[in-house]
Chain A
Amino acid sequence: MNSLTQLLRNSLIQYKPNSSIIKNAKKWQNLPKFYSTEALQQQSEPDKLYKFVELELKGHDPAVLKSYAKFAITAGNHLDVNSISWNLRKPVHERHTVLKSVHIYKKHRVQYEIRTYFTFVQYKELTGSTADTLLEYVQRNLPEGVGMKSTKVELQSLPPFITEEESTKSDS
């Protein structure tokens, strides 16, 4: 966990617009152009805001999923991210029915089934850098035999043509 907070701190420093890097920008003026200016422009961009990041976990073994969801939530809570998990969705049983005997005897069948269990983990209200760090950490520790689908919902400001219209309406 220590290394994780370290990682987060480092990435936060990178993304913070008013960090010491920009204050010391004068010192860097002698450096080659591609290194100093472009990097600074990137850093001065405002960070993305996510309403939530949702992870859909799929696996054959419910115990593994449960344990991993607990891990993901604990990792989120250590970073002070509001995180919850649930598994409301019913497991999918994919069944194959075949003859038990090689040749005849239609009445005697065997059923094989492949089960897929689902678990969901949701992190609420994240900045872009936190989301990147957290997802990186959580995905690197994904156990074998577990699939993950992550969905991000980003907050964006209203597009300019809407705000302009509204302002003209209020004027008239």
Chain B
Amino acid sequence: MTSLLKNVISNTQINTQLVRLLHTTSVCCKVQAGRYRITPKKDFPLTYEMANPPHEIAHRKTWNSWNTSNLQGGLRSSETAVEDVFIRKFVSGTWHNLFVSEIIIKRQHNIIRVAGIVHRAINARKVYFLIGYTEELLSFWLQCPVKLELQTVADKKDVIFKYI
């Protein structure tokens, strides 16, 4: 019995010690969404779009989706958002590792225009095929004309704004 008591007492002692070791701090209200951390070697490439945090939208950079659905009295905002996500995923997957900029989606009337900068890593024939393929499939799925407006760069370093 005594041994058991001893054991319990020693355990509680350990517990009190542990409790005293544990301490809490106030909440760290750090905002980190859409921002990039500095690397030790300062060699992480950022485009202009990536270099500016979200609060710079409409000041130093603009939106990636241009449509009227989020205006006052706009229609089908959720559908537009889901379609935009789908277009981005499809395009970045079809043009695998080729888009070096963000994919800009512009809607005018019933036309969707997808713009971006492409790395000139594959030959022209393949690029033409991919353009036709993307336009055809997207316009079939979304039931409206889709156009691709691409610009090309020879080197991926051409779009790098800074290294952090």
Contact = CB atoms under 8 A, between A and B. Distances in A.
A101 B74 CA distance: 30
Contacts, number: 43
B29 interface: yes
A105 B108 CA distance: 42
Interface string B102-114: 0000111100010
B1 interface: no
Interface stretch (B35-43, B65-73, B93-101, B117-125): B65-73
B7 interface: no
A92 interface: yes
A144 interface: yes
A78 interface: no
Interface in B49-68: 58, 62-63, 66-68
Given A101-B27, A105-B27, A144-B113, A60 B106 contact: no
B108 A142 contact: yes
**At the interface, is chain B mostly helix, strand, loop or mixed?**
loop
A116 B108 contact: no
A147 B74 CA distance: 9
28 contacts: A58-B68, A58-B71, A58-B72, A58-B73, A59-B71, A60-B58, A60-B63, A60-B70, A60-B71, A61-B58, A61-B62, A92-B72, A100-B31, A101-B29, A105-B27, A108-B27, A108-B29, A142-B108, A142-B109, A143-B108, A144-B67, A144-B107, A145-B63, A145-B66, A145-B106, A145-B107, A147-B73, A147-B74
